Amino acid sequence: MKTHLRVARPTDNLDLIVEMYRVGLDLDVLGSFKDHQGFDGIMLGKSGMQYHFEFTHHRGHKVGKAPTQDNLLVFYVPDRAEWEAACARMELAGFMPVPSYNPYWDQDGRTFEDADGYRVVLENGEWE
């Protein structure tokens, strides 16, 4: 069975969040929709990856900020030069570097917070 993962998340700042993740994680716009039963959405990823992200906005509804500081997306980037370049892209995209809620992620990684308070960890290491 071939599996593909979609990580979907609502936002009150659709254009800003999409641009942050597109630039910060070097992703492409894979698709989008407008006013589908009151929802707008944009999917980001890379062709051939086994996952992509969908950010949505429900017109007339407010979703607010992340519920906790431990809501994370974690990316393992083993090559040190690639990891450093990825960290620089995150800041360029507008992500704020923050201390991790769980200090484990600060040992070999950096944590970044988006405009909605959700966090992304870039871990300089391999997933085993």
What was the pLDDT predicted at 89? 98
What was the pLDDT predicted at 2? 86
Q: Could you read off the pLDDT of 58-80 as tens digits, one per residue?
A: 999 999 999 999 999 999 999 99
Helix segments in the chain, DSSP class H: 14-24, 80-92, 104-108
What was the pLDDT predicted at 116? 98
What was the pLDDT predicted at 128? 79
What was the pLDDT predicted at 71? 94
What was the pLDDT predicted at 4? 94
Which positions of the chain have pLDDT values less than 50? none
Nearest to residue 18, comparing CAs of 40, 39, 36, 44? 44
